[in-house]
């Protein structure tokens, strides 16, 4: 702790600030588009996506939290909103009386299906169209490395 701080090198500094600016701008843009076109934030969209991919369109709350990289609390609040919107419903888990299943409703599925094309197009326009195939590959490796590194030391 008494050791001199090792500051960022100029190119690291530049990388870090560029990354901050880019990821913030990207997420804000997509979030705004989704809010405008589908009336939901990106986080809620992701919840619906994961449910739609699950067998029987249902998942345990904890599994859904893990899949979306969210805390239990966050998911619980989100589920309340999504249920109020009629996009999901909750069921008791048959094998664990503590458990809850989040189930995607037909309404939720329809909403998701309506929102998906526009959102995918946004991802394409704002992310993939700007990058070369090689860069997409680089970004994938970098992201997978980072994700593995981060979930190794400080998850929830």
Partner DNA sequence: CCGGTTTTGTTGAGCGTTCAACTAACGCCG
Partner DNA sequence: CGGCGTTAGTTGAACGCTCAACAAAACCGG
Binding site for its own copies (CB under 8 A): 5-8, 11-12, 14-16, 18-27, 29, 32, 46, 69, 116-117, 120-121, 123-131, 135-147, 149-151, 153-155
DSSP, res 4: P
90, interface contact from DNA, its own copies, none, CB < 5-8 Å by kind: DNA
Q: Report the alpha-carbon distance of residue 73 to residue 62 in Å, rounded.
A: 10
Q: Report the alpha-carbon distance of residue 131 to residue 109 in Å, rounded.
A: 31
CB of 94 to its own copies, least distance (A): 30
First to last CA, the chain: 26
CB of 97 to its own copies, least distance (A): 31
Q: Report the alpha-carbon distance of residue 112 to residue 110 in Å, rounded.
A: 5
Instruction: Provide the binding-site residues for DNA, judged by CB under 7 A.
Output: 28, 32, 35, 40-41, 43-44, 60-62, 65, 70-81, 90, 93, 96-100
């Amino acid at each position: 702790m008494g050791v001199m701080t090792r500051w960022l090198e100029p190119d690291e500094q530049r990388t870090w600030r560029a990354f901050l600016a880019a990821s913030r701008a990207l997420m804000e843009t997509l979030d705004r588009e989704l809010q405008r076109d589908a009336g939901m934030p990106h986080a809620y969209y992701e919840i619906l996506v994961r449910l739609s991919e699950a067998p029987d369109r249902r998942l345990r709350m904890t599994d859904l939290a893990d899949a979306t990289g969210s805390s239990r609390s966050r998911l619980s609040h989100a589920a309340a909103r999504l249920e109020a919107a009629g996009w999901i419903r909750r069921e008791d888990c048959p094998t664990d009386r503590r458990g809850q299943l989040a189930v995607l409703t037909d309404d939720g599925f329809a909403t998701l299906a309506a929102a998906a094309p526009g959102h995918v197009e946004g991802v394409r326009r704002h992310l993939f169209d700007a990058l070369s195939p090689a860069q997409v590959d680089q970004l994938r490796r970098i992201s997978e490395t980072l994700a593995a590194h981060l979930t190794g030391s400080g998850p929830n």
